[in-house]
């Protein structure tokens, strides 16, 4: 069974640009969550989608947004990139409430 | 602010010993608890999940939960050098939002 797939693996952008990251969950998983991991702040929750609806959002500015498609694939978008957005962005999928979340390999975003 | 606290380590144990990793959490309403292992440069990998008070064993790993004390622990028996990694404690605050501790770095000395 294929795991969570995230693309691209690495991305380099400059300040002010925008970026879109993609996540394909494990087959059958309808919940997709996104996290940001930095050395200073650790792993922080961004948002969660289930059946194309955002059900929960973490404490991040509106520049961070996402969506989920009918096949459960999800995208995350960050607009007007800042240096502080440099991080590992992780997607996780699960079967549903209180079920374990399984992470993809992540997208490492570097802002120059 | 919901918090999950872990000792950052490093926790150094000799090969074959028991490694004990601890975690406390602030939200009494939390119901689901997870341990993830993260190797340097890699993504977190689920090791254990625990939902009820008591112990849960899976191979060399045992998770322990005490909701009254708001305490979760992970024991690794017969520690191997390949167990050297950062171990992340995660608490499900509801609606699929995991709150992570900062992680404990474990070093298993051959």
* Mean pLDDT, residues B15-24: 98
DSSP letters of chain B?
---EE-----EEEETTSPEEEEEEES-TT--EEEEEEE-TTS--EEEEEE-SSEEEEETTEEEEEETTTTEEEEEESS--GGG-EEEEEEEE-STT-EEE---EEEEEE-
Residues of chain A with pLDDT under 70: 1
Phi, psi of B90 (to 5 degrees): -130, 140
Binned at pLDDT 50, 70 and 90, residue B63 comes out as very high
Instruction: Report the range of poorest mean pLDDT among A42-51, B5-14, B68-77, B94-103.
Output: B94-103
Measured between beta carbons, the chain A residues lying within 8 angstroms of B32 are 98
Partner-chain contact B96 A90, CB within 8 Å: no
Q: What is the pLDDT of residues B33-54, one digit of tens each?
A: 999 999 999 999 999 999 999 9
pLDDT score at B66: 97
pLDDT band at B10 (very low <50, low <70, confident <90, very high): very high
Residues of B in contact with A101 (CB under 8 A): 34, 46, 96, 98
pLDDT at B95 over 80: no
pLDDT computed for residue B1 by the predictor? 72
The confidence score (pLDDT) of residue B55 equals: 97
Which secondary structure element, helix H or strand E, spans residue A22, and what is its range? strand A19-24
Q: Rounded to an integer, what distance in angstroms lies between the CA atom of residue B53 and that of residue B70?
A: 10
B29 touches chain A (CB under 8 A): no
Q: Is B42 on the interface with A (CB under 8 A)?
A: yes
Q: Residues 6 or more apart from B11 whose CB is under 8 A from it?
A: B19, B21, B104, B105, B106, B107
Q: Which residue has the higher pLDDT, A20 or B92?
A: A20
**Among A57, A100, A108, which would you mutate to test the B interface (most chain B Cβ atoms within 10 Å of its Cβ)?**
A100
Query: What is residue B94's predicted lDDT score, i.e. its pLDDT?
Result: 75
User: Between residues 70 and 99 of chain B, which touch chain A (CB distance below 8 Å)?
Assistant: 88, 90, 92, 95-99
Q: Which of A42, A55, A58 to mutate to test the interface with B (most CBs of B within 10 A)?
A: A42
Please tell me which of the candidates B43, B49, B102 has its beta carbon nearest to residue A100: B49
Confidence band, pLDDT 50/70/90 cuts, at residue B26: very high
């Amino acid at each position: 069974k294929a795991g969570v797939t995230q693309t691209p693996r690495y991305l380099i952008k400059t300040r002010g640009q925008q970026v879109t990251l993609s996540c394909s969950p494990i087959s059958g998983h309808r919940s997709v969550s996104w996290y940001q991991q930095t050395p200073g702040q650790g792993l922080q929750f961004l948002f969660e989608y289930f059946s194309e609806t955002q059900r929960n959002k973490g404490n991040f500015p509106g520049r961070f947004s996402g969506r989920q498609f009918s096949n459960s694939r999800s995208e995350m978008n960050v607009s007007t990139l800042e240096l502080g957005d440099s991080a590992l962005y992780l997607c996780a999928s699960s079967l549903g409430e209180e079920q374990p979340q399984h992470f993809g390999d992540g997208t490492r975003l570097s802002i120059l | 602010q919901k918090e999950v606290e872990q000792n950052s380590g490093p926790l150094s144990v000799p090969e074959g010993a028991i490694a004990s990793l601890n975690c406390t959490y602030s939200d009494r309403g939390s119901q689901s608890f997870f341990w993830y292992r993260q190797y340097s440069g890699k993504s977190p990998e689920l090791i254990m999940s625990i939902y009820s008070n008591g112990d849960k064993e899976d191979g060399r790993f045992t998770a322990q939960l005490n909701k009254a004390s708001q305490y979760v622990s992970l024991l690794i028996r017969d520690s191997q050098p390949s167990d050297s990694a950062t171990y992340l404690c995660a608490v499900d605050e509801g609606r699929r939002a995991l709150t992570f501790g900062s992680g404990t770095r474990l070093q298993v000395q051959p």
